[in-house]
């Protein structure tokens, strides 16, 4: 079956609302349950007996592995079957959640291995579920029915990502405890498998490059080594020493693996990542800004961790700070769509990024009294959600409608990979700066006279400011990329009005 054909009429199979619910549950199991660790980890790292740097690695490594393998899993889904890969992703979700739910306390290497192993498996699960579920929705629905189905798909992803901090805090603070998050995930994954039973297989036609050149294993392996080495260096730098032999060895490994990857991808047909797509300036700008804005997710781990560690808030109380983010992002996604239709992609992308940057800047005001900071954080997270809502659909349109039809699949995979890798790198760097900033001499910080209120937690607050201001920098780079690369024309608006555009895939991060 080709990528755009429907199941044969003879099968007499049509998707139902129950089937669509199964897809939503599969998607939300990552964005809601796996992402709760952003808010839960500050409160459970002591219980598990793991160091802060390893706990931060556990948060970022899921998005890292999701980003690395999402292009691979999407390609496998097209070749061996989207339904098969969707089922594999759900089973991996069950396995990853079980590993985390059963992670023992204070058993050293075993605790670390189960926690990190579970997070890696959850990343692989997301890499399988996201492209396969979207491809099935686009295959089994058409017209308005497809728009409706993709809207529910987006609700599962955006709703989960917006609600994860609040939900994680609620469960961790309840009598059920934080492990219940992952037991619930297991139950809902099993329910998803039940609702999806009987789904017919769907796959794309094999291209000539795939038939004659096979899979780009060299590119994939060098890509994995480079990104894992970089992530370990960033997250473990405060422990191993940024300029130690181990640290410099990781930097060297990252550089060599990165150069090998670039060489392979520029000299091989049927490459793992089609770097030729970046010759399109608009695609490059949209993808780079997507990477940077997803990197601003580091705001969550630093700000929510800070109010728990320095302010004494519970995980539930800190999660409540993001309630405006949840409401705003769901309320403004369609607004971004309307802005795209009226102004083209560039203006709403810039507006959304600027609003996001202002929101992150509000969250960076760690020098204020706790009560004032809480108010600014609520406003900041709400602006964060509004900004992403404005940015999301215009960015997706700018990326995918500016590449040839034959390359839309590859472009979509790279765009989504940028989402996950941006999240992973942003969280890792923000958390590392947060930890590193705490090593500053409190007397020096106090002498500046900037931090008012309590002084016993001044090093924590300074580290938080450094980690959060890095996210402001990420947003600034995103704005510059949009200004320099995305054209200010309304040509796509005319095409939309004539009905030449198909429904765009759901936007960043999800």
Task: For residue 425, give both structure tokens.
Answer: 């790198």
- Dihedral sign (CA 305, 308, 310, 311): positive
Which pTM does this prediction carry? 0.81
In a domain, 210, yes or no: no
Q: How confident is the model at residue 163 (pLDDT cuts 50, 70, 90)?
A: confident
In a domain, 30, yes or no: yes
In a shared domain, residues 318 and 237: no
In a shared domain, residues 343 and 229: no
Task: For residue 420, give both structure tokens.
Answer: 């996950």
In a domain, 50, yes or no: yes
Average pLDDT over residues 375-404: 88
List the CATH number of the domain containing 328: 1.20.1250.20
In a domain, 206, yes or no: no
* Domains held by the chain: number: 3
The 10s digit of each residue's pLDDT in 431-442 is 999 999 998 999
Burial 289-306 (b: 16+ CB within 10 A, else e): bbbbbbbbbbbbbbbbbb
In a shared domain, residues 223 and 362: no
In a domain, 183, yes or no: yes
d(C-alpha 443, C-alpha 163), whole Å: 39
pLDDT at 508: 40
How is residue 405 annotated by DSSP? Answer: G
pLDDT at 352: 95
Burial of 14 (0-12, 13-18, 19+ CB in 10 A): exposed
In a domain, 2, yes or no: no
Q: Which residues contact 16 (CB under 8 A, 6 or more apart)?
A: none
Among 167, 200, 233, the domain boundary falls at 200
In a shared domain, residues 411 and 389: yes
Please check whether residue 173 is in contact with residue 167, taking contact to mean a CB–CB distance below 8 angstroms.
no
The H or E element spanning position 46 is helix 37-48
Among 234, 255, 271, the domain boundary falls at 271
In a shared domain, residues 283 and 425: yes
In a shared domain, residues 482 and 440: yes
Task: For residue 198, give both structure tokens.
Answer: 């009987």
Rounded to the nearest integer, the mean pLDDT of the chain is: 85
In a shared domain, residues 119 and 174: yes
Please check whether residue 464 is in contact with residue 306, taking contact to mean a CB–CB distance below 8 angstroms.
yes
d(C-alpha 234, C-alpha 243), whole Å: 12
State percent of the chain over pLDDT 90. Answer: 42
Among 143, 172, 200, the domain boundary falls at 200
Domain containing 195: what range?
16-200
In a shared domain, residues 317 and 265: no
In a shared domain, residues 145 and 288: no
In a shared domain, residues 190 and 317: no
In a domain, 150, yes or no: yes
Alpha helices in 278-322 (DSSP H): 281-295, 298-309, 315-320
In a domain, 41, yes or no: yes
In a shared domain, residues 291 and 187: no
In a shared domain, residues 89 and 170: yes
pLDDT at 376: 96
Average pLDDT over residues 297-318: 90
Q: Which residues contact 347 (CB under 8 A, 6 or more apart)?
A: 339, 488
Task: For residue 506, give both structure tokens.
Answer: 């759901």
């Amino acid at each position: 079956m080709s990528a755009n054909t429907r199941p044969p009429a003879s099968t007499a199979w049509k998707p139902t609302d129950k089937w669509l619910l199964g897809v939503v549950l599969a998607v939300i199991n990552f964005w809601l349950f796996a992402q709760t660790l952003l808010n839960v980890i500050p409160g459970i790292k002591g219980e598990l007996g793991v160091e802060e740097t390893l706990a931060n690695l556990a948060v970022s490594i899921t998005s890292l592995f999701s980003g690395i393998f999402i292009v691979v899993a999407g390609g496998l889904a097209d070749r061996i079957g989207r339904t098969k890969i969707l089922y594999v992703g759900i089973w991996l979700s069950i396995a990853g959640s079980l590993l985390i739910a059963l992670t023992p306390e204070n058993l050293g290497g075993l605790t670390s291995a189960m926690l990190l192993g579970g997070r890696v498996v959850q990343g692989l699960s997301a890499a399988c579920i996201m492209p396969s579920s979207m491809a099935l929705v686009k295959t089994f629905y058409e017209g308005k029915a497809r728009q409706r189905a993709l809207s529910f798909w987006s609700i599962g992803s955006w709703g989960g990502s917006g609600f994860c901090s609040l939900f994680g805090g609620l469960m961790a603070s309840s009598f059920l405890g934080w492990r219940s998050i992952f037991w619930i995930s297991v139950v809902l994954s099993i329910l998803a498998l039940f609702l999806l039973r009987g789904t017919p297989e769907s796959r794309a036609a094999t291209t000539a490059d795939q038939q004659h050149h096979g899979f780009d294993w060299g590119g994939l392996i060098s890509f994995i080594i480079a990104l894992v080495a970089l992530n370990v260096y960033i997250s473990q730098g405060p422990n191993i020493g940024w300029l130690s032999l181990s640290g410099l060895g990781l930097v060297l490994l990252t550089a060599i693996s990165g150069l090998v990857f670039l060489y392979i991808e520029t000299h091989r047909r049927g490459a793992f990542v089609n770097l030729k797509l970046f010759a399109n300036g608009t695609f490059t700008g949209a993808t780079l800004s997507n990477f940077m804005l997803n990197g601003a997710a580091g705001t969550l781990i630093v700000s929510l961790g800070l109010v728990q560690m320095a302010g004494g808030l519970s995980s539930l109380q800190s999660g409540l700070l993001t309630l405006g983010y949840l409401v705003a992002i769901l309320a403004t996604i369609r607004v971004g769509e309307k802005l795209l239709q009226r102004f083209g992609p560039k203006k709403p992308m810039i507006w959304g990024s600027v609003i996001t940057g202002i929101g992150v800047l509000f969250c960076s005001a760690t020098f204020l009294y706790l009560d004032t900071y809480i108010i600014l954080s609520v406003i900041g997270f709400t602006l964060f959600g509004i900004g992403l809502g404005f940015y999301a659909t215009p960015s997706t349109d700018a990326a995918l409608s500016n590449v040839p039809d034959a390359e839309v699949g590859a472009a979509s995979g790279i765009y989504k990979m940028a989402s996950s890798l941006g999240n992973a790198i942003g969280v890792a760097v923000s958390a590392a700066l947060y930890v590193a900033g705490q090593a500053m001499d409190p007397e020096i910080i106090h002498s500046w006279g900037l931090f008012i209120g309590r002084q016993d937690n001044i090093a924590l607050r300074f580290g938080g400011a450094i980690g959060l201001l890095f996210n402001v920098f990420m947003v600034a780079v995103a704005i510059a990329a949009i200004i320099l690369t995305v054209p200010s024309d309304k040509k796509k608006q005319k095409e939309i009005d004539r009905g030449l555009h198909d429904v765009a895939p759901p936007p960043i991060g999800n």
